[in-house]
Structure 1
Amino acid sequence: MHAGFLNRYRLIVLILVAIAARGLTFGNPVVHADEEFYYVTAHEMWRGALPFIDIWDRKPIGLFLLYLPAARLPLPWGIFAYQAMATAALVLTALIVARLAARAGWGAGAMAAAIGYILWPDLINGVGGQSPIFYNLPMAAAGLLIVSGENGGGLPHRRGVAAMALVGIALQIKYSAVFEGVYFGLWLMWREWHAHRRLLATLAYGAMLAAIALVPTAMAWGFYAAIGQSDAFLFANFLSIEHRNANPLPEMLGNIGTLVLLLGPLVAMAFAARRQEAVGGSGAARRFLFGWLWAALAGLALFGTWFDHYGLPVLVPGCACAAGFFGARRFRGRVAPAVLGLVAIGGLATVLAHIHGRGNATQFAALAQAVGRGPGCLYVYSGTTMLYAATERCRLSRYIVPAHLNRARENGATGADQAGEVRRILAARPAVVVMRPPFNGERPEIRALVSAAVTRDYRLADRLPMGDETISVYKLRR
């Protein structure tokens, strides 16, 4: 009864914290460019489009399938729906973080760790439906299966199989889960070797675990192969990333500095837990969690580009380990609440700054109205792709992410010549062209192509604020 009451209390508190942390963004369709695109892709799938063929991107198809239920709803209800899904995933993952902490013997700090997991995403662009908000849930569940088997009971092979099946699901939400998944598999193999000391059996077990984790991706590949699009699938999912150009060095250094600043305190508290006394729990579970944290950090370092939201996978093992710090006798009374309070204030300030910079639902509604639902196709050269879903206008290219056609880092990396594709779009004479002001990383020669076309063939229909920018809407002269 006591445990049941504690779980209900914990759930209610985490839901309230999540609503407080995210409530300012509920219903806002322009929280982040990534999730705008995920939603629009799912919306286009309902109209018959197929990712990697009709709409191009590198994300696995599982991510777009996640957005399908929400994208079936009209705006703004579809926005509320995907944000509710993301909030539910966040809260469930936070509950697992608390369970992981308790299994490791850090139960006194488990609640603070779970709250930390709810609050920290606000600091690193995770306030909406970024892919790690969703794939952290199966990864956390997989980690809990492994940790739960570290007490010597249960069925470790079944737990291992189930854990790697969850890793496979996470991989079809975003492939960057591979770093943590490899660590999970190696840990399970090491435990198998430690238990039985049979090399061939351990290798066979490892091969089985790897195969299980790859099943969802193999199924996706098999579908595309069956329709004759294997090459398109392989290029988009695995090969194109090797062709992407590096961001300018100052931008990369700025990204790294931001991650160090925002994740550094959490990582420091997590590793400080090594010096704190655990109450019960499993030493093997603690070692697993610290190893998981190293794996997540290694994945963040190796993946490159280092955008702030790439740090979201670090939060699961980071917060679980930080429970040892939060729950320490000398920290739990004042330090832990102070830390969480600072994170909450910093997160709120970050969310408000992003709303000010990117825009809000009212500004987006005005922009969508200016674009209109009339006949003719839309070309968002730069700006929010959510306009495609809001106006229901047709698109003229499978490259609807503006960066794929106008950013230097994507030049030669998508399978299309940027200038050639832009010329083809403009030759089709879209009814409406949307442009934001010039930005860092943009290819000036691509902007010049579009600017020349709108000067020649279009009239400026409206200029509207969107966050701290002014968006220009051009309509074709009749």
Structure 2
Amino acid sequence: MFKVTESRIAQFICLLAFATLIRCPAWGEWNFGIDDQFYALVGERLTKGDLLYVDIWDRKGPLLYLIFAALALISPTMLTYQLAATGSAALGAYGVNRIARLIATPGSAMLAGLSYLALLSRFEGDNLEAGVFFNTLVIGAAWLLVSRFDLLRRGQIDFGLIAGFMCAGMAIAIKQTVALEGALFGITALLLLARSGQSIPGTAWRGALLALAGALPMLVTGLSYWANGHFAELWNAMVTSNFARGYADPGIRVQRIFTMAGMLGIPMAFAGIGIHALLRQSTPRSVTWLVTLWAVVALALIFSFPNIYVHYAQSALAPLAILCAGYFAHRRPVWPGIAAVIGLSLALSGTLHIRDRWRARPAAAALVSYVTATTPHKRLLVWGAPNYLYAKIGADPVSPLAFSPHLYEGREWTGLDERKEVRRILAHRPETVVMQTPLPSSPLNEATVAMVNSYVATCRKHKRFTIYDHNGEQVHTVFSGCGAEHMLHLHSAWLR
């Protein structure tokens, strides 16, 4: 009788089928997540000649947007991006399965892969979040490292190990904080080489080659921006802006820490049981310890950010899922872990809020239709979440800060003058302003919010729409008939 656990191809097909099943309810929705749709917008802007960090700005790494630009060249539709993300999630789950197989039974390793997919959906990775892509690369790097522990113990490296560190480098080129996970992998490789009896020069050049492989993607990016005279903009986006952002109020930060700890409590508990079980078995302890350290580093990163959001936990999900394999393999009964880690995660994921998913597409279509009709000259300002509206109606964002939270969040820091950018946007006299009510931020940038509020107060019409994202209902007011000639005096006053 054929068993799935005996065929790697069958394992991947099963994981891909599961990923498709739990993610497909959101396929075709362009408004599912605020970050997701911005990645798609930036990718499409790059295909039209915009230069990342100069013509359109964000602080995430360049590879993320190159992925979306490449997909846009194939077909600039949300379904294309979602199919690619589903494939990436399934590949990540397969990598989790392969690593877990080194320390647990085939069946428990498959459950670890399914757990990863379910946890990814629970922590807002059920559509196009960056973690869906960089996690897969990190998992690939981890797999190529742990599968070559014996090679490193002999003081050798091979192309597969170099490729693993290139995967880590590409992950860093999507999300900079992955550098700490990459550093953990690098230190592990160096320690194994050093303990192999290899000479110091031999260890040094091998370690340097692995480090170069990891640094190569960002090194190439830096050199290209240096050559075109925009290295300062790259440095600001990648480094300065991340350290200059304001921290949330202490009370809010503490509340979010406890909320995140509560959300992660279940997978952490079963991972902890799994570690205990694995260390009592005759499994490769070196793999268990590396995955445990990987989880610790990823968890520490979550709580080091200036603000704490649900999707920040995505980097910790792969090692936690791998460690859960120890529970699935060596603790009975298994069903509490399956129900808590997989079942509860799916119950709380946005894609499986079927009522919202059923209403989301027609609601978003109605908004697009109305905005298209009221914006004949394509002068649009999105002042809220649905920034992909620019692409949907064919409008060009006036400012590099097309992601409106960069303009209205009070603790945001981009290196650009937000008030100057809003003055410039309003001087362009947008015909239509799509404003989320209320704006999802606290505190707000009172100066920029006041400018936009004054502008929309003179618009001739307004209409409210309810659309649906992964969090449920979101209310937006569309102000139209704005930017008439009689408003020039008001804008001149602002510009002075």
TM-score, normalised by the number of residues in structure 1: 0.91
- Matching residue's letter, 2:228: I
Q: CA–CA distance in 1 between the matches of 2:89 and 2:428?
A: 43
Task: Report sequence identity in percent.
Answer: 25
Question: 1:5-84 residue pairs with structure 2 within 5 A?
Answer: 5-72=6-73, 78-84=77-83
- 8 Å CA contact 1:383–1:434 kept in 2: the answer is no
**CA shift in 2, pair 1:341/1:65, >3 Å:** closer
Q: CA–CA distance in 2 between the matches of 1:345 and 1:162?
A: 33
2:395 to 370, 393, 396: 393
What 5-or-longer segments of structure 1 have no aligned partner? Answer: none
Question: 1:126-137 residue pairs with structure 2 within 5 A?
Answer: 126-137=125-136
Q: CA–CA distance in 2 between the matches of 1:272 and 1:130?
A: 29
Moved more, 257-266 or 313-322: 257-266
Q: CA deviation at 1:435?
A: 0.8
User: What does the per-residue CA deviation read over 1:40-93, in whole Å, with 9 as the maximum and x for residues that have no partner?
Assistant: 001111211111000011111110011123334666xx1111111111111111
Residue equivalent to 1:375 = 377
**CA shift in 2, pair 1:359/1:254, >3 Å:** farther
Residue equivalent to 1:292 = 294
Residue equivalent to 2:434 = 434
Question: 1:25-424 residue pairs with structure 2 within 5 A?
Answer: 25-72=26-73, 78-152=77-151, 156-158=156-158, 159-196=160-197, 198-277=199-278, 281-332=283-334, 334-348=335-349, 350-351=350-351, 356=356, 360-372=360-372, 374-410=376-412, 413-424=413-424
- 8 Å CA contact 1:399–1:405 kept in 2: the answer is yes
Q: CA deviation at 1:3?
A: 8.0
Q: CA deviation at 1:309?
A: 0.7
- Matching residue's letter, 1:368: V
- 8 Å CA contact 2:4–2:10 kept in 1: the answer is no
- Matching residue's letter, 1:173: I
- 8 Å CA contact 2:5–2:107 kept in 1: the answer is no
- Matching residue's letter, 1:112: L
User: What does the per-residue CA deviation read over 1:151-195, in whole Å, with 9 as the maximum and x for residues that have no partner?
Assistant: 458984124322211111111111121111000000000101111
User: What does the per-residue CA deviation read over 1:242-270, in whole Å, with 9 as the maximum and x for residues that have no partner?
Assistant: 21111233432333223212222212222
Q: CA deviation at 1:198?
A: 3.9
Q: CA deviation at 1:356?
A: 4.5
- 8 Å CA contact 2:155–2:196 kept in 1: the answer is no
- 8 Å CA contact 2:134–2:171 kept in 1: the answer is yes
Moved more, 248-257 or 367-376: 248-257
Q: CA–CA distance in 2 between the matches of 1:402 and 1:109?
A: 44
Q: CA–CA distance in 1 between the matches of 2:253 and 2:78?
A: 31
Q: CA–CA distance in 2 between the matches of 1:48 and 1:428?
A: 21
User: What does the per-residue CA deviation read over 1:350-404, in whole Å, with 9 as the maximum and x for residues that have no partner?
Assistant: 4456984998222221111111162232111223101011000122111101111
- 8 Å CA contact 2:410–2:446 kept in 1: the answer is no
Q: CA deviation at 1:100?
A: 0.3
Aligned residues: 471
**CA shift in 2, pair 1:341/1:317, >3 Å:** closer
Q: CA RMSD for the aligned pairs?
A: 2.5
* Counterpart secondary structure, 1:273: helix
Q: CA–CA distance in 1 between the matches of 2:157 and 2:284?
A: 19
- 8 Å CA contact 1:31–1:358 kept in 2: the answer is no
Q: CA–CA distance in 1 between the matches of 2:91 and 2:186?
A: 23
- 8 Å CA contact 1:25–1:128 kept in 2: the answer is yes
* Counterpart secondary structure, 2:157: helix
Q: CA deviation at 1:344?
A: 4.4
**CA shift in 2, pair 1:364/1:73, >3 Å:** farther
Q: CA–CA distance in 2 between the matches of 1:470 and 1:358?
A: 17
Q: CA deviation at 1:281?
A: 4.5
Q: CA deviation at 1:271?
A: 2.3
Q: CA–CA distance in 2 between the matches of 1:362 and 1:369?
A: 10
* Counterpart secondary structure, 2:457: helix
Residue equivalent to 1:472 = 477
User: What does the per-residue CA deviation read over 1:212-239, in whole Å, with 9 as the maximum and x for residues that have no partner?
Assistant: 2111101111111111111111111111
* Counterpart secondary structure, 2:56: coil
Moved more, 446-455 or 464-473: 464-473
Q: CA deviation at 1:17?
A: 1.8
* Counterpart secondary structure, 1:157: coil
Q: CA deviation at 1:105?
A: 3.7
Moved more, 381-390 or 144-153: 144-153
- Matching residue's letter, 2:114: I
Q: CA deviation at 1:211?
A: 2.2
**More contact order relative to length (CA 8 Å, sep ≥ 6):** 1
- Matching residue's letter, 2:83: A
Q: CA–CA distance in 1 between the matches of 2:254 and 2:359?
A: 26
User: What does the per-residue CA deviation read over 1:322-360, in whole Å, with 9 as the maximum and x for residues that have no partner?
Assistant: 10111114233x333333453344334x44569849982
What 5-or-longer segments of structure 2 have no aligned partner? Answer: 485-496
User: What does the per-residue CA deviation read over 1:133-154, in whole Å, with 9 as the maximum and x for residues that have no partner?
Assistant: 1011111111111111124589
**CA shift in 2, pair 1:359/1:418, >3 Å:** farther
Residue equivalent to 1:455 = 457
- 8 Å CA contact 2:363–2:467 kept in 1: the answer is yes
- 8 Å CA contact 1:172–1:216 kept in 2: the answer is yes
Q: CA–CA distance in 2 between the matches of 1:469 and 1:94?
A: 32
